[in-house]
């Protein structure tokens, strides 16, 4: 808690009090709790009393939920402490490692009070060390690095085309390496020229024009230079995965792979113009890059039964957004205008409920004010609609925050766990299953609570949850925040097959956060989802009908 308070730049005395409490507990680990609590101030004693009684702390989880996830990423940078991170966040609004690296390089960081060139250089070297250590990074950060590398390679003499491949092209949620395919008139000469790229520190030459580059900022990449005739196979191989490529070759025993060539039964090279032709030569339908994980897609390609994957154009609105009424930074009007500019037909406001007090959870009075404001915003549009939602906490006993009278005021409800993550699997599963029985619940939000690279999912029986959601008529969220991407894509296909409806939610806390939808759609595609599997590919009328049917079913059964 002390660390999170410091990251947020809150009153230093509170953090000091909690750090003192932590030291006191460690120093008196064998004492009776009553003796330890007597040594602490009231605030720290309250927290420790909660831990003693429940084994967990709601305050800790609520603090973590309302602290920008990227600030936790920054803690992984050697030599970068909480105070510095808070100053950077306050001074420049930076919330990601990628933004921090850019600011350290372009002079903005050293211009901050009490920083200077030496501090900026130390932070830049710390980020480089983190990269060199092989630590995985989130998809958007790795993609930005790959795009920057591709832009640097394209002007090199002899380069005709540059394509990013590997796990980035497959849209994996975390990325360990960057793979790039370069089409060149003379592959070996172009590979040699890449050593002169700005910032290249080490070069390891491979076979037939392949080269591994390491840059001074710690970025590393494998680059495959090929002539145009071999591009299709090279891109297919470099995209992978290894399991997918192996399965595809097994499906066509008459075809062999030699370098970046496919050869027929007479050992003659097969002329291939693109990846569609590669798959055709293997007797397969073309497999979208997101699916190439060796998880049955080759068999579906052979049977011509691959899904028609959801696209950004299929999405008609978004349903998980936070405004300045709770912990968002944009007004309802600003979010509505931005959503409309993105071509959507509706936007749902789902600010936090009253139990999330650290996130400015809404009181009954605030709900009434917000709904009046939504009505005023809706009066300004004839082709767009703001929906009245809430992200209601699933309490420890499975009840949904607010009483029935308040919940009835919302057009739909996203129910999420924001506390007591330390429950065992049986307890957490029972807790969520009870929430799914509440007739007001339309969507189960971020169902495993994970934060990629910083927090593991809490223990929960996902299979039981998605089955119950299908049975109860509740949608399960694919949270599109790139720090979450929860539900995991490995579960999405099973949820689809169980008949569970998936909602893709940006969990936007600002106008820019609406763009998280891109990451969610990429994971939805990776999870084999089609437009018909996704709630918010429906229009607003149909979304609200989905919510009303849920309430009607619950009322008929006598649910509370």
Q: What is the DSSP letter of 412?
A: E
The answer to whether the beta carbons of residues 508 and 321 sit under 8 Å apart is yes
For residues 474 and 402, state if they share a domain. yes
* Positive or negative: CA dihedral 247, 499, 537, 399: negative
pLDDT band at 219 (very low <50, low <70, confident <90, very high): confident
pLDDT band at 556 (very low <50, low <70, confident <90, very high): low
The answer to whether the beta carbons of residues 232 and 272 sit under 8 Å apart is yes
pLDDT, mean of residues 14-37 = 76
pLDDT of residue 28: 73
Residue 202 lies in a domain: no
The answer to whether the beta carbons of residues 7 and 18 sit under 8 Å apart is no
Kindly report the CATH number assigned to the domain that includes residue 266: 3.30.210.10
- Give the domain-ending residue among 117, 132, 147: 132
- In sequence order, what DSSP letters do the residues of 138-163 get, joined into one string? EHHHHHHHHHHHHHHHTTSTTEEEEE
> What's the whole-number average pLDDT of the chain?
92
Lowest mean pLDDT among 98-112, 177-191, 285-299: 98-112
Residues 6+ apart with CB under 8 A from 544: 387, 411, 412
Reported as type and span, the H/E element at residue 212 is strand 210-215
* Tally of CB atoms within 10 A around 41: 11
- Give the domain-ending residue among 281, 306, 331: 306
Q: Tokens standing for 322?
A: 């936070």
Q: Is pLDDT above 60 for 555?
A: no
Residue 193 lies in a domain: no
Domain count, the chain: 3
β pairing state of 385-393 and 346-349: parallel
Of the candidates 223, 213, 139, the residue with the CA atom closest to the CA atom of residue 179 = 223
pLDDT band at 560 (very low <50, low <70, confident <90, very high): very low
Residue 494 lies in a domain: yes
Residues 6+ apart with CB under 8 A from 65: 356, 358, 359, 418
For residues 444 and 542, state if they share a domain. yes
The 3-state DSSP class for residue 222 equals strand
Lowest mean pLDDT among 13-27, 292-306, 368-382: 13-27
State the Cα–Cα distance between residues 4 and 451, nearest whole angstrom.
15
For residues 355 and 413, state if they share a domain. yes
pLDDT of residue 559: 45
Q: What is the DSSP letter of 286?
A: P
pLDDT of residue 519: 98
Q: Tokens standing for 215?
A: 């840059």
Show the beta-strand stretches assigned E in 209-251: 210-215, 220-226
Kindly report the CATH number assigned to the domain that includes residue 80: 1.10.150.20
Residue 215 lies in a domain: no
Kindly report the CATH number assigned to the domain that includes residue 345: 3.20.20.140
pLDDT of residue 45: 82
Whether the bond between 557 and the residue before it is cis, its omega within 30 degrees of 0, is no
Higher pLDDT, 17 or 85: 85
The 3-state DSSP class for residue 183 equals strand
The answer to whether the beta carbons of residues 149 and 219 sit under 8 Å apart is yes
- Give the domain-ending residue among 271, 289, 306: 306
Size of the chain in residues: 560
- What are the tens digits of pLDDT across the range 305-339? 999 999 999 999 999 999 999 989 999 999 999 99
Residue 164 lies in a domain: no
Q: Is pLDDT above 80 for 554?
A: no
Higher pLDDT, 67 or 190: 190
Of the candidates 512, 201, 115, the residue with the CA atom closest to the CA atom of residue 103 = 115
pLDDT, mean of residues 352-377 = 90
For residues 377 and 394, state if they share a domain. yes
Residue 458 lies in a domain: yes
For residues 471 and 424, state if they share a domain. yes
For residues 291 and 423, state if they share a domain. no
- What are the tens digits of pLDDT across the range 82-108? 999 999 999 998 888 888 988 998 999
pLDDT of residue 131: 80
For residues 284 and 360, state if they share a domain. no
Residue 99 lies in a domain: yes
For residues 410 and 284, state if they share a domain. no
Q: Is pLDDT above 60 for 557?
A: no
For residues 339 and 258, state if they share a domain. no
pLDDT of residue 341: 98
For residues 412 and 396, state if they share a domain. yes
The 3-state DSSP class for residue 221 equals strand
Does the pTM exceed 0.85? Answer: yes
Q: What is the DSSP letter of 414?
A: E
Whether the bond between 241 and the residue before it is cis, its omega within 30 degrees of 0, is yes
- What are the tens digits of pLDDT across the range 404-416? 999 999 999 999 9
- What are the tens digits of pLDDT across the range 120-167? 999 988 888 888 777 788 999 999 999 999 999 999 999 999 999 999
Q: Tokens standing for 477?
A: 């969220």
Q: Is pLDDT above 80 for 558?
A: no
Neighbouring C-alpha atoms within 13 Å toward the C-beta of 315: 28
Burial of 162: CB neighbours in 10 Å, binned 0-12, 13-18, 19+: buried
State the Cα–Cα distance between residues 309 and 316, nearest whole angstrom.
16
For residues 550 and 438, state if they share a domain. yes
State the Cα–Cα distance between residues 524 and 508, nearest whole angstrom.
18
State the Cα–Cα distance between residues 528 and 255, nearest whole angstrom.
28
Q: Tokens standing for 52?
A: 């003693």
Which domain, by its residues, includes 79?
2-132
Q: Tokens standing for 520?
A: 């969610």
Largest CA distance in the chain: 85
Residue 217 lies in a domain: no
Cα-only R_g, the chain? 26
For residues 500 and 433, state if they share a domain. yes
């Amino acid at each position: 808690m002390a660390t999170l308070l410091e990251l947020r730049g809150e009153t230093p005395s509170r953090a000091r009090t909690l750090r003192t409490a932590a030291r006191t507990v460690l120093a008196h680990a064998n004492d009776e709790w009553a003796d330890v609590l007597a040594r602490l101030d009231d605030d720290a004693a309250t927290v420790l009393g909660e831990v003693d009684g429940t084994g967990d702390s709601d305050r800790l989880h609520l603090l973590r939920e309302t602290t920008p996830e990227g600030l936790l990423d920054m803690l992984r940078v050697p030599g970068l402490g909480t105070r510095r991170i808070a100053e950077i966040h306050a001074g420049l609004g930076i919330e990601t490692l990628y933004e921090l690296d850019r600011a350290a390089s372009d002079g903005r960081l050293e211009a901050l009070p009490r920083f200077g060139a030496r501090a900026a250089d130390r932070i830049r070297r710390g980020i480089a060390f983190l990269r060199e250590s092989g630590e995985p990074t989130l998809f958007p950060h790795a993609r930005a690095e790959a795009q920057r590398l591709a832009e640097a390679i394209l002007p090199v003499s002899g380069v005709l085309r540059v394509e990013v491949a590997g796990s980035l092209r497959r849209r994996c949620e975390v990325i360990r390496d960057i793979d790039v395919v370069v089409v060149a008139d003379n592959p070996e000469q172009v590979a040699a020229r890449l050593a002169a790229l700005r910032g290249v520190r080490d070069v390891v030459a491979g076979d037939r024009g392949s080269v591994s580059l390491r840059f001074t900022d710690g970025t590393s990449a494998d680059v495959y230079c090929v002539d145009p005739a071999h591009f299709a196979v090279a891109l297919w191989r470099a995209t992978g995965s290894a399991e997918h490529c192996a399965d595809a070759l097994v499906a066509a025993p008459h075809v062999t792979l030699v370098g970046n060539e496919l050869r027929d039964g007479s050992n003659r090279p097969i002329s291939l113009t693109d990846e569609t032709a590669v798959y055709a030569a293997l007797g397969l339908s073309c497999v979208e890059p997101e699916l190439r994980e060796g998880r049955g897609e080759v068999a579906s390609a052979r049977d011509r039964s691959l899904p028609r994957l959801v696209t950004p154009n299929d999405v008609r609105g978004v349903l998980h957004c936070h405004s300045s009424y709770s912990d968002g930074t944009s007004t309802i009007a600003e979010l509505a205008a931005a959503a409309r500019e993105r071509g959507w037909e509706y936007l749902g406001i789902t600010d936090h409920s009253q139990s999330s007090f650290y996130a400015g959870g809404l009181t009954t009075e605030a709900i009434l004010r917000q709904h009046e404001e939504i009505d005023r915003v809706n009066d300004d549009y004839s082709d767009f609609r703001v929906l009245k939602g809430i992200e209601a906490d699933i309490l420890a006993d499975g009840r949904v925050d607010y009483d029935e009278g308040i919940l009835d005021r919302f057009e739909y409800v996203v129910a999420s766990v924001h506390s007591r993550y330390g429950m065992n699997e049986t307890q957490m599963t029972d807790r969520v299953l009870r929430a799914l029985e509440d007739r007001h619940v339309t969507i189960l939000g971020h169902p495993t609570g994970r934060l990629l690279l910083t927090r593991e999912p809490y223990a929960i029986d996902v299979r039981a949850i998605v089955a119950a959601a299908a049975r109860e008529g509740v949608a399960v969220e694919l949270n599109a925040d790139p720090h979450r991407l929860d539900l995991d894509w490995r579960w999405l296909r099973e949820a689809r097959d169980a008949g569970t409806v998936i909602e893709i939610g940006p969990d936007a806390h600002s106008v820019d956060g609406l763009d998280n939808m891109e990451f969610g759609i990429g994971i939805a595609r990776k999870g084999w989802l089609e437009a018909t599997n996704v709630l918010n590919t429906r229009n607003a009328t149909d979304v609200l009908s989905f919510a009303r049917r849920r309430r009607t079913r619950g009322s008929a059964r006598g649910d509370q």
